[in-house]
């Protein structure tokens, strides 16, 4: 299939304007006749549901948490980027566009990235108007901080809770529409399937997580804003319920899945300390402004950190990347940590961490100053580990964090299924092979507030005469039946291992073979191992309880069943990309100094995978060639 990204004509700065000028509209009187389903209430989902509600469409909003306000956007700490140039330090939409494109290692579409930077200006205006309490200077104007990979200060923040505050702003906008009855809320509902009728997305099947009831919902268009699926690695910075099920089920109904293996592994999270562990908590990237990263020069050194003399410490980021030092981008910092850990220099009881040391900063600036900047993070560190990081270095370690991959979408954020849109982290769009810090709160919000309301209207314009979509259609009945069967199958297995057992095994395989570094041999092995694990899962998993009650184990089982399929596709994706770019590092393709070696001649494309019809067949690769008309790809160097 030929993929058409539908990028508008014209110079970069005029593409989005041109689109908006010519997009079709729906008359206000007709809007209430049109139904839109939005799955997800993070920044992307809440903002699009609220915006469509304000315009007068009939919206249904779904999330699996017990209220929209708990979507995982809530956990973002650091901040959100916008090219406001309030610091007068030479920032501009164009500069932000170039930074993002370069940060993504030239594996994203120019037109999309430019639009992201362009709409960043409106987002800050909108959030401030909603009452989001961003950090301010004493004169009352908005303040900014810096983030990794750029040389300007364009990051807006609300202490260490930027995601929470942005999310509450959009949640409140959503609840206002709920009050006005333009949006109906379905919390504690999980999407199980997409319903496609005559090649258009026409509805979804959901499970009411309290009663277990399987429900049908129909609409003229369906929006998936279901977030990232990094939880596939089991240990990650994501929430326990984050999943890939919604987009995976849509994939199996015909939506292409782009770059599934591009996962950002964040360098500064807390290390795993035991088998019981369920989550790796993120420590903000901002700590790397003052913390120095090191490991003992001697392998297998078991001395206490503070007893290791200065000359026996290896500050490996400063050594390898003198220009950026401890602030080298995420993919590079994580890889460098893994290299040291694998070489036997890891620290901590499981030898899986590196030190993040503040002693120099404390000596130079005083403890009070460091406490003022990072006090909440030091407190959090102590709460979790019981260790005082003013006295001894923190132990940190890389953790799966963000999915650059997701459903393939065109410039309108529409998938390969007409009427099915994907927004926020659930799509692959703007970050290329590596996302810059503070760009994804932005992307999720911009998709929902400023892009999708136009592009969905453009799609709905010819749906006015369609009339109500009925859930009596045989496709709905079929989907309900299939999903009930799937659930009952899981409950019938009654094997001897818990769902978590399989999830942990899968996570370990992916970390080892489709994580920070990959090889053809390892990926081939992992594909076979994951397939075996899947077989064993269907023979030996134990899912307790019934289908018609609240049943957390059953929810997990459904998600892990999908993960076991997604994991295989991730490995195929990594295996077929014979180059290294951004977070995708194939050991066979590196420079003499051990840096990523991109191959623009053969791999300047987005891999968009097509469901082949069954698990027995190999997934089908489609390519969207990337054209660089405005910026020429260069080699990323942070030396």
Ligand X SMILES: Cc1cc2nc3c(=O)[nH]c(=O)nc-3n(C[C@H](O)[C@H](O)[C@H](O)COP(=O)(O)OP(=O)(O)OC[C@H]3O[C@@H](n4cnc5c(N)ncnc54)[C@H](O)[C@@H]3O)c2cc1C
Min. distance of Cβ 282 from ligand X in angstroms? Answer: 4
CB 250 within 8 A of CB 194: yes
Considering 330, 335, 559, 586, which one is annotated as catalytic? 330
Of 61, 85, 146, 161, the one binding other proteins by CB under 8 A: 161
CA distance 451 to 249: 24
Closer Cβ to other proteins, 272 or 580, answer by number: 272
Of 90, 140, 309, 474, the one binding other proteins by CB under 8 A: 140
Query: Of 156-215, which residues contact ligand X (CB under 6 A)?
Result: 162-163, 190-191
Query: Of 482-521, which residues contact other proteins (CB under 8 A)?
Result: 496, 498, 500
Long-range contacts of 332-337 (CB under 8 A, 24+ apart): 332/638, 333/267, 333/288, 333/293, 334/265, 334/266, 334/267, 334/398, 334/516, 335/516, 335/517, 335/585, 337/267, 337/293, 337/397, 337/398
Alpha helices in 426-465 (DSSP H): 440-446, 452-460
Residue 367, number of CB atoms within 10 A of its CB = 14
Of 6, 24, 32, 159, the one binding other proteins by CB under 8 A: 159
Min. distance of Cβ 363 from ligand X in angstroms? Answer: 29
Query: Of 375-414, which residues contact ligand X (CB under 6 A)?
Result: 401-402
Of 405, 453, 507, 567, the one binding other proteins by CB under 8 A: 453
The tokens describing 187, both together, are: 């919390």
Of 25, 552, 615, 635, the one binding other proteins by CB under 8 A: 552
With CA atoms as reference, report the closest residue to 245 among 199, 200, 190, 188. 190
Residue 193, number of CB atoms within 10 A of its CB = 25
Residue 227 binding result from ligand X, other proteins, none, given CB thresholds of 5 to 8 Å by partner type:
ligand X
CA distance 177 to 59: 9
The tokens describing 510, both together, are: 């992916």
Buried b (16+ CB within 10 A) or exposed e, 443-482: bbbbbbbbbbbbbbbbbbeebeeeeebebebebbeebbee
**Radius of gyration of the chain, Cα coordinates, nearest whole angstrom:** 24
Closer Cβ to ligand X, 78 or 169, answer by number: 78
Q: What residues are paired with 166 via a beta bridge?
A: none
Q: Is 501 exposed, middle or buried (0-12, 13-18, 19+ CB in 10 A)?
A: middle
CA distance 228 to 245: 10
Query: Of 68-87, which residues contact other proteins (CB under 8 A)?
Result: 68-70, 72, 74-75, 84, 86
Phi-psi region of 386 (alpha: psi -120 to 50; beta: other; left: phi over 0): left
Tell me how far the alpha carbon of residue 57 is from its chain's centroid: 28
Min. distance of Cβ 127 from other proteins in angstroms? Answer: 8
Stretch of 156-164, 250-258, 304-312, 575-583 contacting other proteins, by CB under 8 A? 156-164
CA angle 627, 631, 633 (to 5 degrees): 75
179 binds other proteins (CB under 8 A): yes
Residue 564 binding result from other proteins, ligand X, none, given CB thresholds of 5 to 8 Å by partner type:
none
Query: Of 186-205, which residues contact other proteins (CB under 8 A)?
Result: 187
Question: In the bound complex, which residue of the shown chain has the CB atom lying closest to ligand X?
Answer: 42
CA distance 363 to 358: 9
DSSP code for 434: S
Min. distance of Cβ 574 from other proteins in angstroms? Answer: 28
124 binds ligand X (CB under 6 A): no
CA distance 510 to 563: 11
Min. distance of Cβ 403 from ligand X in angstroms? Answer: 8
Buried b (16+ CB within 10 A) or exposed e, 399-437: bbbbbbbbbbbbbbbbbbbebbbbbbbbbbbbbbbbbbb
**How many residues line the site for ligand X (CB under 6 A)?**
45
Stretch of 162-170, 340-348, 484-492, 629-637 contacting other proteins, by CB under 8 A? 162-170
Per-residue binding string, other proteins, 243-282, x by CB under 8 A, is ------------------------------xx-xxxx-xx
- Do the bridges between strand 35-39 and strand 221-224 make them parallel or antiparallel, or are there none, so unpaired? parallel
455 binds ligand X (CB under 6 A): no
First to last CA, the chain: 41
Catalytic site residue 330? yes
Closer Cβ to ligand X, 439 or 455, answer by number: 439
Of 3, 142, 197, 533, the one binding other proteins by CB under 8 A: 142
CB 105 within 8 A of CB 598: yes
Min. distance of Cβ 67 from other proteins in angstroms? Answer: 5
Closer Cβ to other proteins, 199 or 382, answer by number: 382
Of 124, 377, 516, 568, the one binding other proteins by CB under 8 A: 124
Whole-number Cα distances in Å, 625 to 367, 409, 476, 580, 608 = 52, 14, 36, 17, 11
Of 51, 261, 403, 434, the one binding other proteins by CB under 8 A: 51
Residue 552 binding result from other proteins, ligand X, none, given CB thresholds of 5 to 8 Å by partner type:
other proteins
Of 8, 149, 227, 619, the one binding ligand X by CB under 6 A: 227
Min. distance of Cβ 602 from ligand X in angstroms? Answer: 30
Query: Of 250-309, which residues contact ligand X (CB under 6 A)?
Result: 282
Stretch of 30-38, 43-51, 528-536, 617-625 contacting other proteins, by CB under 8 A? 43-51
**How many residues line the site for other proteins (CB under 8 A)?**
80
CA distance 473 to 366: 69
383 binds other proteins (CB under 8 A): yes
Stretch of 9-17, 530-538, 543-551, 575-583 contacting other proteins, by CB under 8 A? 543-551
Query: Of 26-65, which residues contact ligand X (CB under 6 A)?
Result: 39-45, 62-65
Closer Cβ to other proteins, 239 or 631, answer by number: 239
Min. distance of Cβ 242 from ligand X in angstroms? Answer: 6
Min. distance of Cβ 137 from other proteins in angstroms? Answer: 7
Min. distance of Cβ 192 from ligand X in angstroms? Answer: 7
CB 448 within 8 A of CB 43: yes
- Site residues, ligand X (CB under 6 A): 39-45, 62-65, 71-73, 75-80, 162-163, 190-191, 225-228, 237-238, 243, 245-246, 282, 401-402, 424-426, 438-442, 444
For the annotated catalytic residues, the residue numbers are 330
């Amino acid at each position: 299939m030929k993929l058409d990204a539908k990028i508008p004509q014209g110079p970069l700065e005029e593409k989005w304007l041109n689109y908006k000028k010519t997009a079709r509209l729906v008359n206000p009187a007709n809007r209430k006749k049109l139904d839109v389903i939005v799955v997800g209430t993070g920044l992307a989902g809440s903002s699009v549901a609220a915006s469509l509600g304000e315009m007068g469409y009939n919206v249904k909003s779904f999330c699996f948490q017990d209220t929209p306000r708990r979507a995982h956007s809530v956990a973002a700490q650091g901040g959100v980027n916008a090219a406001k140039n309030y610091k007068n330090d030479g920032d501009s939409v164009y500069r932000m566009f170039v930074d993002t494109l370069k940060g993504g290692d030239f594996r994203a579409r120019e037109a999309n990235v430019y639009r992201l930077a362009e709409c960043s200006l409106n987002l800050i205006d909108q959030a401030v108007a909603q009452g989001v309490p961003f950090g301010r200077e004493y004169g009352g104007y908005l303040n900014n901080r810096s983030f990794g990979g750029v040389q300007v200060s364009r990051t807006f923040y609300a202490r260490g809770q930027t995601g929470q505050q942005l999310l509450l702003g959009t949640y409140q906008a959503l609840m206002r529409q709920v009050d006005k009855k333009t949006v109906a809320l379905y919390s504690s509902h999980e999407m199980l399937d997409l319903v496609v009728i005559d090649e258009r997305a026409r509805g979804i099947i959901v499970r009411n997580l309290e009663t277990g009831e399987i429900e049908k919902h129909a609409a003229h268009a369906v929006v998936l804003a279901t977030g990232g699926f990094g939880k596939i690695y089991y240990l990650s910075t994501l929430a326990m319920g984050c999943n890939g099920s919604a987009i995976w089920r849509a994939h199996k109904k015909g939506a292409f899945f782009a770059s599934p293996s591009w996962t950002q592994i964040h360098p500064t999270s807390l290390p795993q300390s035991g088998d019981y562990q369920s989550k790796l908590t993120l420590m903000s990237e901002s700590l790397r402004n003052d913390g120095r990263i090191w490991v003992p020069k001697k392998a297998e050194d078991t001395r206490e950190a503070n007893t290791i003399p200065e000359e026996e410490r290896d500050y490996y980021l400063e050594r390898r990347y003198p220009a950026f030092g401890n602030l080298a981008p995420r993919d590079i910092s994580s890889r460098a940590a893994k290299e040291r850990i694998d070489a036997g220099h890891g620290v901590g009881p499981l030898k899986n961490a590196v030190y993040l040391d503040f002693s120099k900063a404390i000596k130079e600036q005083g403890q009070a100053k460091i406490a003022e900047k990072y006090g909440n993070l030091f407190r959090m560190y102590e709460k979790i580990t019981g260790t005082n990081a003013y006295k001894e270095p923190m132990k940190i370690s890389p953790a799966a964090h963000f999915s650059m991959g997701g459903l393939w979408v065109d410039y309108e954020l529409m998938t390969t299924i007409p009427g099915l849109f994907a927004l926020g982290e659930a799509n692959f769009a703007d970050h290329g092979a590596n996302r810059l810090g503070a760009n994804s709160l932005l992307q999720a919000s911009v998709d929902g507030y400023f892009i999708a309301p136009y592009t969905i209207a453009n799609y709905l314009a010819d749906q006015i005469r369609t009339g109500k979509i009925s859930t009596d259609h045989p496709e709905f009945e079929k989907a309900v039946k299939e999903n009930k069967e799937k659930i009952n199958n899981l409950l019938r297995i009654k094997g001897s291992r818990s769902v978590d057992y399989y999830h942990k095994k899968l996570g370990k395989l992916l970390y080892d073979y489709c994580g920070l570094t990959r090889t053809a041999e390892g990926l081939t092995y992992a594909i076979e191992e994951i397939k075996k694990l899947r077989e064993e899962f269907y023979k030996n998993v134990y899912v307790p309880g019934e289908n018609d009650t609240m049943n957390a184990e059953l929810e997990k089982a459904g998600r892990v069943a999908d993960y076991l399929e997604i994991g295989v596709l991730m490995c195929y994706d990594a295996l077929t990309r014979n180059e290294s770019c951004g977070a995708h590092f194939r050991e066979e393709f590196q420079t003499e100094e051990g840096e990523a070696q991109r191959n623009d001649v053969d791999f300047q494309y987005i891999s968009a995978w097509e469901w082949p019809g069954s698990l027995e067949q190999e997934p089908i690769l489609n390519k969207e060639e990337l054209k660089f008309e405005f910026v020429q790809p260069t080699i990323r160097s942070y030396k």
